Structures are given as C-alpha cells and as structure tokens.
C-alpha cells in the first residue's frame, strides 16, 4: 500500500475515534442537538474523513471501501452547504455508517 494512502487511512481512523470520544458512551441525540460546539466538532471530523477519502480515491480508485462516494459527497455537503446540514442525516451516519467505515479502514491499515 502506498504510504500516502496509509496516512489518509490513519487520518480517517483518528477522526472516527475523535467523533466517538466527543459523543461518549451514551451517544444521545438530544445532547448532540443541544451542543453547537459538539456538532461543529463532529462536522469538522467529517470534513477530514471526506477529504482523506477524496485523496485516497485519486491515488487508488480501486481501494475497497464500501461507501467512498457517499463519504466524499457528505464532505462536500458539510463544507459547501454548511447552512443546509441535516443533523438527522449526520446522526444517522454516525450510528449506522461510521462503525462499518471504522472496520473497513482498520482492515486496510493492517494489510
């Protein structure tokens, strides 16, 4: 694996772990919604995840990550559509998709 790809995968993993740390064990949507700083921190981590994925895609479009295009698309929405962010979609992504992404990235890093 190219050293750049490995670095970007580690960046993605670090951002996922940061989101997990920000939210704690409770993962409470109401707490998330009531804390603007928390929401902005999570959005920033999604920007990092999406940008790293975009760079990986440019280097190796055949890398096996199931939701690459959606991740890049979410990054674009967070950055360019900051005034139209749907917090329910962000929350759903955290709950349903980040665990899968974390597993896939961890496997790729170990290769």
What are the residues whose beta carbons fall under 8 Å from the beta carbon of 109, sequence distance 6 or more? 6, 9, 10, 13
What is the crossing angle of helices 36-59 and 3-23, to 10°?
160
Report the domain count for the chain. Answer: 1
DSSP assignment, residue 81?
A: T
For residue 81, the model assigns a pLDDT of: 77
Q: Domain limits at 90?
A: 3-110
Q: What is the pTM of this model?
A: 0.92
Are the CB atoms for 86 and 39 separated by under 8 Å?
no
Distance CA 56, CA 48 (A): 12
Phi/psi for 28 (5° steps) reads -100, 120
Would you name the residues annotated as active-site residues? Answer: 75, 80
Separation of CA 20 from chain center:
11
Q: What is the full per-residue pLDDT of the chain (111 aa) written as tens digits?
A: 788 999 999 999 999 999 999 999 889 999 999 999 999 999 999 999 999 999 999 999 999 999 998 998 888 888 887 778 899 999 999 999 999 999 999 999 998
């Amino acid at each position: 694996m190219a050293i750049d790809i490995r670095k970007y995968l580690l960046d993605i993993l670090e951002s996922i772990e940061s989101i997990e740390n920000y939210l704690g064990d409770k993962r409470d949507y109401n707490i998330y919604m009531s804390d603007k700083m928390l929401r902005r921190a999570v959005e920033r981590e999604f920007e990092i995840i999406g940008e790293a994925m975009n760079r990986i895609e440019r280097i190796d479009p055949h890398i096996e990550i199931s939701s690459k295009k959606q991740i890049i698309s979410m990054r674009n929405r967070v950055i360019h559509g900051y005034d139209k962010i749907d917090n329910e979609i962000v929350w759903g992504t955290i709950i349903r998709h980040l665990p899968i992404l974390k597993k896939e990235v961890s496997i790729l890093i170990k290769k």
